[in-house]
Every structure is written in C-alpha cells, then in structure tokens.
Amino acid sequence: MANRIITAATIIALLTPLAACGSIGGGVALEPEHQTRSIAVTNTIPVHKLENELVPYPYGNLSIDSTYAHGWTADPVTVLDGFNKQESFLEWPHTQEGNDGTGQNVLWYYVPQKTGARLKVNHIADYVDADGSKHAVDMTLTVNSVAKTALATRFTQSSGLYSFSWATVGGSIDLTAALSTQDGTSLAGVKGTTGFADLDGDPNQPNKDGSEGVELVSGFDGAYVRSDAHLMQSGPNRWSGIIDENSKPADEHGLKHYVGATFTGPEFRFKYFAARSLGGNFQPIQSTVQYPLYYDMNGGTGGPHTK
C-alpha cells in the first residue's frame, strides 16, 4: 500500500467493527428455493447498504454493546422499579450449557411486572467527546409494553464475564433506552451506533413475517443492512428474519441476519419480537464506522493516531 501524506486538517476514515445486515429487495439473485417476498414499505429513516456505505463520524464516538466483549466482571443491572429478579423464566433455565465451547453459563432474569418498569444497565458504553476524553455511559430501560419476555444477564464461567440481553417465549418487548453519563457530561444531541444480531427466520415457513426481528421505533436516524440479507420488511423501520436460522452473528452468513442502526440521543426506542423461544442483545459488529485521525507532530517524531 502506498504511503499517504497526512496534514493537521485531514480527517481519515478508519475501519472498525459495528455491524449490519440487510433488507430484501435488491442485491444478488437467489435460487428459487431461497427467493423471498418483499413488501413495499416507506421507512421514516434512511436505509443504507452496509456493503458500500460507511457509518459517518461522529457516530463512532458512542457504541452501545451489551455482549461479553464489553468486559463486565459483575452483573451490570440495577433494578429501579417494577422488575423481579428470577433464576428462571418460563422455558429459560438458570444454568445453560454454552453452544460456543464456553461451558456452563448462569443466567438471571429481570421480569417486568408492569408497564413503566425501569432498570439501569451500568456502564454500557464509553462516550468519547471532541477532545478525546472518555465518559462512562449508563442506560436506563423503560418498558412500554411486554408479552412473555424478560431482560437477562448471563455469566460465562470460563471467561468470568457477564452479558446483557433479552429472552422471549414467543412474545415481544417495547423498550425506551435513555442514556446518561456517570460524570454528568451532557449527551444532548449525541450521535451513536448499535445493532441487533442473529435475527432468525423459520426454515419451515421461510417467508413468514415475525419469526424474529426488530422495529426501530424512534430516536434512530439510519439503518445499515445488507442488500442480500435474509430479512424482510413488513412495516416502516421493521425487519424480521426469513429463509433460515443463524448461529454465528459475526460471520458472512451472520451478517445477513443483522440490522445495524445509528441514533441521535440521548434516547431511542425499539421493539423486539419473536415467534418462539429466542433472545437478543445490543451488538454493533463487523460494520464500518469512520473515526477521525488526530495528528501529533511531536517534534517531527509523532504520527497520526486515534483518540
């Protein structure tokens, strides 16, 4: 690769993980048995093609991730009002063998008891401000409506880390997420990214809407999906899995079951739904986000670096 000259005023795009998957209605042709039906919808936010559009700076300065990669060594949840903490929830057990070689996992379920129930996920992200300083961000989730669904934390014994997610038994949950910094730094108008991975279809009903999906209800200003995704739309800003199931969210097939999203905060609202026992989390993976490069001359010995 040829060297490039970088000046103090230059902003360079770096590629870093976020993720996304797609909408049906374009892209490569599918074999007859994998063809999908497309319903004409009018989205209220732009839908970008992951394969050729970057998530622009400054969205990369705040990335909402609730997977093991976040690094929680203690349960991050604080109940504020209207949740019961339980060892099991309907068909979901307290302990579960990991399907990725991680060994035994221990789960706790936070079951909403009413509309308006609230809990806080502590330090779900770090906000990087214009000066490059980090600010720990908490997320308060408020339940707008719920059916046969709970929020959950999972402890993986092999890694000693927790993740945060939601689990359903053929139900749905509508949540408002409000973000705040632990040090009081304002997030008014902040731009950020997140995503929803592993949205399964039902192989036995390959074109059925509602198998598992997400609706970006409000606060979002863009969706990032692949044009060859195994997803369909049946309403504005609403995607659900079709054709087949998925198990590895970050590989090539997994990206076809993913909806990435950008938002302007500090608040957004989404709805998750599934027709059987499934679950999900916030997972910005394998997408591209632009970050600025800052140039430090350092007496002629420095070089470009990210903040």
Secondary structure string (H, E, C) spanning 210-257: CCEEEEEEECEEEEEECCCCCEEEEECCEEEECCCCCCCCCCCCHHHH
Q: How many CA atoms lie within 13 A of 146 on its CB side?
A: 25
Residue 94 structure tokens: 């307290």
How far is residue 169's CA from residue 146's CA, in Å, rounded to a whole number? 11
The Cα–Cα gap between 123 and 135 comes to 9
- Closest of 32, 4, 63 to residue 289, by C-alpha: 63
Structure tokens at 146: 């719920």
Question: Is there a contact between 305 and 296 (Cβ–Cβ < 8 Å)?
Answer: yes
Q: CB count, 10 Å around CB of 179?
A: 21
29 token code pair: 């042709």
> In tens digits, what is the pLDDT along the chain, a chain of 307 residues?
333 222 223 222 222 333 333 333 333 333 334 444 445 678 899 999 987 788 888 898 999 999 987 899 999 999 999 999 999 999 999 999 876 666 789 999 999 999 999 999 999 999 999 899 999 999 999 999 999 999 999 999 888 999 999 999 999 999 999 999 999 999 999 999 999 999 999 888 888 889 999 999 999 999 999 999 899 998 999 999 998 888 777 677 778 889 999 999 899 999 999 999 999 999 985 445 555 544 444 444 443 433 4
Is-above-0.95 flag for pTM?
A: no
